[in-house]
Structure 1
Amino acid sequence: MAKKMRAAEDYMHHLYIHMNDVDHFVIFSGLTLKQFFSSVEPLRNLLLLKHVYEDGSFNMHTQLDFISTEDMASFVKVDVKDELCWVDFSNEKQVNQLTPMEQAELLYLSHKHEPLASPFFEKLQNRYVYYASPNDKMTKVYFRFLADVEQLMTNVYNRMIEEREGNGGFWRRKSKKNVPTIEPAVLRACRPFAKEGALLSLYKLDKPNSNYGIEIRSLVDYDFPDEVWDDLNDIIKRGYDEFILIN
């Protein structure tokens, strides 16, 4: 009997990724704000460049709101329904040293979603620039260190697998060493697909295996992430270009 082909809803998660390694940014679709924050090193403060969040603090020098370390946990829980753009920074003293030109560059960045010069500011020493557009179903992130891209994705996938493996209750929970995991180097080897635009689809292999797999499909013909979700079932039917076994 022929094996039934998976439909889009049969997978645990789909993630669209398109990397521009020259300009140090990645466009994601299928990545939430909460997933981002739980998968990167803790950030101290965020300077909000575009937002509708009402519970932040206010910086008099730039006339911009910001999220302090103390308020970060509450901010991360927000369900982003409007455009959001921010850069991270270590302390408010750095923000107060920004020149008018640097402030103008930040405003340009929030409006055009691309830098006038560099997305990384010497005074702020920001590691990221984050922009999300729910209407376009996309998140664009500038990474100071490109290795953070695969580390982020690794943490997202490993957390999903850990949560899936823990669904059987405390006494049936597998020990951490037995939970399948993926390493950043494995995803780094698949960068050629990411640079062209790709869909990564995670699922659990059929029993009796306790392993997981990620199917990678090249999407060179797609320029807009929202179109991927419109055609998702058709894309899945094409078959994958690369397969990663997680065990």
Structure 2
Amino acid sequence: MAKKEKEIEEYLTHLYVHVNEIEHFALFSGLSVQQFIKNFSDLSALLLLKHQYEDASFNMHTQLEFVVKEQYNHFLKDYAERPSVLCLLDFSDERKLNMLSPQEQAELLYIAHKKEAFRLPFYHHLQNRFVYLSDEGQQITKIYFRDIEDINKLIASVFNQYIHEKMKSTAFWRKKNNVILPELSIEKVDAYADYYEDGVLMSLFKLDKTNYGIEIRSLPENIFPDEVLGDLKDHLDKPADLLIQF
């Protein structure tokens, strides 16, 4: 735990995480689709279940639209300019979309409408790793994970991305002085996985010139996830439950 109380301005960024391992999903607040796709940039294609992107390709069998890897940058730029409700999942090949049964297609429409699944939403033909569901302002994002370990990978990536992007303005200085940026490891995130099942606020701050810390605060069960970041001051007034240093 930190040795002294910090002002809210001393924190760099925050992420709310609530993991449901049984149903293979996690709730996030403070996560953007840009951060998600940047971390999983190897995904072959994205099936768009609900969106407002106008340059997507169209699949006749499912009557749904999709984007391939080469379109990701344009897709994300368009979304940043015109944020909207976004529901998508990854898939390996368009030919596999044509193999989806009427029942499976109905399940996809149900997921997009209800933002929930009545069985694990991972399909043999699609070989999808994720289902991504967010509201218009990305105040709350729900992601189904085929491999639950990918949650730890994503959490580590969000904080590492933030640190790297914040240091871009001093890239010349960093190269000249051969400074190596700290990296939050997946193993350190995984070490505290039990906390995420109850819902936590993870708050990044700088410990010193070369090291960072993340305070973890367990949140009460009756909070609304989409209001966590709006109530930051109230949450940060309470002592952290633990500190990850890296």
Q: What TM-score does the superposition give when structure 1 sets the normalisation length? A: 0.91
Partner secondary structure for residue 6 of structure 1: coil
Q: Which residue of 2 aligns with 1:199?
A: 201
For residues 92-115 of structure 1, what are the alpha-carbon distances to aligned partners after superposition, in whole Å with 9 as ceiling and x for unaligned? Answer: 100011111110011011111111
For residues 7-47 of structure 1, what are the alpha-carbon distances to aligned partners after superposition, in whole Å with 9 as ceiling and x for unaligned? Answer: 33321110000000011100000011111111124111111
Q: Which residue of 1 aligns with 2:220?
A: 220
Structure 2, unmatched stretches of 5+, are: none
For residues 105-132 of structure 1, what are the alpha-carbon distances to aligned partners after superposition, in whole Å with 9 as ceiling and x for unaligned? Answer: 1101111111132210111110000001
TM-superposed deviation, 1:167? 3.1
Q: Output aligned runs, 1:152-231, within 5 Å.
A: 152-173=154-175, 175=178, 178-206=180-208, 209-231=209-231
Q: Output aligned runs, 1:1-247, within 5 Å.
A: 5-77=5-77, 78-79=79-80, 81-135=83-137, 137-173=139-175, 175=178, 178-206=180-208, 209-246=209-246
Q: Is the 8 A contact 2:30 2:138 kept in 1?
A: no
Q: 1:71 to 1:211 in 2, by over 3 A?
A: same
Q: 1:181 to 1:223 in 2, by over 3 A?
A: same
> For the residues of structure 2 that align with 1:166 and 1:238, how far apart are their CA atoms?
33
Q: 1:82 to 1:165 in 2, by over 3 A?
A: closer
Q: Which stretches of structure 1, 4 residues or longer, exceed 4 Å deviation after superposition?
A: none
What letter is aligned with 1:205?
L
> For the residues of structure 1 that align with 2:154 and 2:188, how far apart are their CA atoms?
13
For residues 195-244 of structure 1, what are the alpha-carbon distances to aligned partners after superposition, in whole Å with 9 as ceiling and x for unaligned? Answer: 000000001124xx421000000013344222212321011010100101
TM-superposed deviation, 1:6? 2.3
Structure 1, unmatched stretches of 5+, are: none
Q: Is the 8 A contact 2:198 2:219 kept in 1?
A: yes
Partner secondary structure for residue 238 of structure 1: coil
> For the residues of structure 2 that align with 1:87 and 1:25, how far apart are their CA atoms?
13
Provide the aligned C-alpha RMSD in A: 1.9
- What is the aligned-residue identity percentage? 45
> For the residues of structure 2 that align with 1:56 and 1:156, how far apart are their CA atoms?
27
TM-superposed deviation, 1:164? 3.2
Partner secondary structure for residue 179 of structure 1: coil
Between the two proteins, the alignment pairs up a number of residues equal to: 241
TM-superposed deviation, 1:136? 6.8
